[in-house]
Structure 1
Amino acid sequence: MGGIDLANGVVGAVLGMLVAVLFQDPIQNSWYRLRARSKSAVRGLRRREESSPVWRTFSLGPLHTSALIVEGDGESSIPAQAVYIQVLDQEIELPPDMAGWRAEIEEESARLQAEGRTPLWNGPRYAVETVGISRTALDEQPEIHLRLRPTDYYTFLAAQQLDRRLADGTTPRSRYLDPDDPLSAPAFLQCSFAVNIAVVTADDILIVTQRSNRVRMASGVWNSSVNEGMSRHIDSSGRSAPDLYAVARRGMREELAIEPHEYALEMLALVLDIEKRQWSALLCPAQGRELRRYAGAYQQRGGGQMGTPDHRFRSVPPFGGHQVHAARRSHSPVGPCRTGALPSRTRTCPQPHPGGKGRGADNSPNSVNQ
């Protein structure tokens, strides 16, 4: 037995030496590759954590929108005197490789008119050159500084084609926009500024609108109570800059037939739809009307049923966060930039976002569909 054990030990030692000689390099190389891959994966995770944006868009539970709350906490009002607007003289021009897109829209409108059909509407509006946010020296209240440039609706329609291929294969989105810096963009891609107003009646009814299927942008989408674009022709008398509160009052009168003396407006947020590069001020009126009084006033002033040729109105009774959540989950699309500027009795205050570049919120109502 001792001789057999000795022989087995010798054979085992020889085989071990052969395996070590033949497979030492492959085993070591495999081990080093495994370690290198592990280190690379860890470094990649760290880089992703370090490079994650300090901003996030508005969300309502599991529902996410492309609306970035740039300023406003949903509770504190931003007064009219805290909004500074400067209108620059030079009109917006599209880059040469996008100018043809606007020409296509003009040609389409001319063709429709030649066929006896309704041509595409075009009107003067504003593009957003820059947006600045600051704080007052004493009480650190927010101040908003807007610089605008003249443009028109056809330019807006052309610039909304953010994912259309350019001649070199890129798109306006990939060429001009930085996903890590959502507040930085050329003015020709930001040819839209509107006010959105959330009207909640005294009997806790939220009034919402659904855009007509005949409109060019966001047709059929559920919207805020009042959505009014800033018009260069209507909202700027002479060479004076527009006033966001005046634009909102005009929208309340045109859409709901409610006069300024019947309510008091509060601006609660400034929002950017980062997907479409559309800016919006969110406001809420403090008033005491019940829903039936809105409908009655509208009919008395010639509106017939509540609604306009372009939009129709609905109400969401009774209004509360859980009803909004359920409605938002189960019905047709909602415009992302219609984040609810709603009364505090029915609103959860958005929480400041880390880093201070933007703000986000959970459990705060968005415009709903019902």
Structure 2
Amino acid sequence: MGGIDVANGVVGAVLGMVCAVLFQQPLQDGWYRLRRRSSSAIRGLRRREESGPAWRTFSLGPLQTSALIVEGDGEFPISAETVFVHVLDEEVELPADMTSWRDEIAEESERLRAEGRVPLWNGPRYAVESFDISRTALEEKPEVHLRLRPTDYYTFLAAQQLDRRLPDGTTPRSRYLDPDRPLTAPAFLQCSFAVNVAVVTADDMLVVSRRSERVRMAPGVWNSSVNEGLSRHIDSSGRSAPDLHAVACRGMREELSLEPHEYSLELLAFVLDTNKRHWSGHFYARLKELRSEDLQARMSRGVADRWEHDTIDYVPFRPAPVVRYMLREDRVHRWAPLAPALFHLCLVHVFSRASVERVEAQVLRRL
């Protein structure tokens, strides 16, 4: 019996070694996979418990902006017939503890005039009272209701001092703005509505402008092809409300010397700069016959508002070149807040969202 026990022990040991060799690694691998899946499941449960704001400003990797796309995704233009602009009679008034800021600006302008220098321009403008979106009954297309109030440029400059201390130690930003409700703000803090146009030439070149160092707001930054603010004097004939497409056409003529028959024009979105409270209608314009060299030649013969831009770049209008251009080291932190979202929306409009986002992901991986 002793010999049999020894033989059984030897056989058991051999079988144990064989099983260890054959099954130890698969068992270890299986245990590792089980632990990893369990950890992933737990992390997934934790992720599902998180929450975040529904409204986020436009960003693209290292390119972070304060541009909030309020309406429009780029794929479908917003019809002019569904944009309703109403102008209220009562002018915007600054709070009592901010009126002195406007007085300072007026005094600075008079001092410059007395010194024989260029005084601060104070043109009539519009402030945004409210911006509302609804949908048409049958096709569910966006229907925009924009309510404006009269104001002027001095009031705008005073209200732009959002982080200046008031007598009680607060600031206009902390007192009047709620970061969790970005679409809610008093009209006197929203004294800016402009159109921004991305222009693409007939030979598929995107026009990108750099703002002059002479302009008071955001000098030296890279911007849309055309940027034009609403003017009560120019854009409202009689008591009629301004037409946003007409404002875009005026900007095209004044900044690039282009006439309406030379391009197509589509409204793609409404966007808000949540930091400075600037509203914008974002447009895409395609030149019918003029190539980039033709546009340069046209501008060499005279531009009404030449002083607003000091440099113009021409970028191949395809997703990869435009995205790489926006993310260049010498561009990524030098953009006007609303411009990158405009270029992205135009790319989506022409090339589709799926293809643009795929290219954006590829470019970001290679940074």
Confirm or deny a common fold (TM above 0.5).
Answer: yes
The residue that corresponds to 1:349 in the other structure is 353
Change (3 A) 1:152 1:167: same
- The residue identity in structure 2 corresponding to 1:316 is Y
The residue that corresponds to 2:322 in the other structure is 324
The residue that corresponds to 2:243 in the other structure is 243
Q: What secondary structure sits across from 1:98 in the alignment? A: helix
Residue 54 of structure 1, CA deviation: 1.1
The residue that corresponds to 1:336 in the other structure is 337
Change (3 A) 1:259 1:361: farther
Larger RCO, structure (CA 8 Å, separation 6 or more): 1
> TM-score, length-normalised on structure 2?
0.79
1:1-370 superposed matches below 5 A = 49-50=50-51, 52-288=52-288, 289-300=290-301, 302-303=302-303, 308-329=306-327, 330-332=329-331, 333-338=334-339, 339-340=341-342, 341-344=345-348, 347=351, 349=353, 363=360
Q: What secondary structure sits across from 1:206 in the alignment? A: strand
Task: Check whether the contact 1:58–1:361 (CA below 8 A) recurs between aligned residues.
Answer: no
| CA-based RMSD | 2.5
Question: Where in structure 1 are there 5+ consecutive unaligned residues?
Answer: 1-44, 352-359, 365-370
Residue 343 of structure 1, CA deviation: 4.9
Change (3 A) 1:118 1:69: same
Alpha-carbon distance between aligned partners in 2 of 1:265 and 1:204, rounded to the nearest angstrom: 15
Task: Check whether the contact 1:348–1:363 (CA below 8 A) recurs between aligned residues.
Answer: no
Q: Percent of pairs identical after alignment? A: 62
Alpha-carbon distance between aligned partners in 2 of 1:321 and 1:165, rounded to the nearest angstrom: 44
Alpha-carbon distance between aligned partners in 2 of 1:119 and 1:361, rounded to the nearest angstrom: 49
Q: What secondary structure sits across from 1:268 in the alignment? A: strand
> TM-score, length-normalised on structure 1?
0.78
> CA-to-partner distance for each residue in 1:302-337, whole Å, 9 max, x for gaps?
349xx7122134223323333333333312411111
Alpha-carbon distance between aligned partners in 2 of 1:216 and 1:198, rounded to the nearest angstrom: 22
Moved over 6 A (4+): none
Question: Where in structure 2 are there 5+ consecutive unaligned residues?
Answer: 1-45, 362-367
> CA-to-partner distance for each residue in 1:39-76, whole Å, 9 max, x for gaps?
xxxxxx99x944x3111111123322100000001111
- The residue identity in structure 1 corresponding to 2:139 is D
Change (3 A) 1:214 1:278: same
> CA-to-partner distance for each residue in 1:228-269, whole Å, 9 max, x for gaps?
000010000000000000000001111111111111210000
Alpha-carbon distance between aligned partners in 1 of 2:162 and 2:349, rounded to the nearest angstrom: 39
Residue 274 of structure 1, CA deviation: 0.2
Structure ranking higher in helix proportion:
2
The residue that corresponds to 1:10 in the other structure is none
Alpha-carbon distance between aligned partners in 1 of 2:164 and 2:54, rounded to the nearest angstrom: 29
Q: Number of matched residues? A: 308
Task: Check whether the contact 2:315–2:322 (CA below 8 A) recurs between aligned residues.
Answer: no
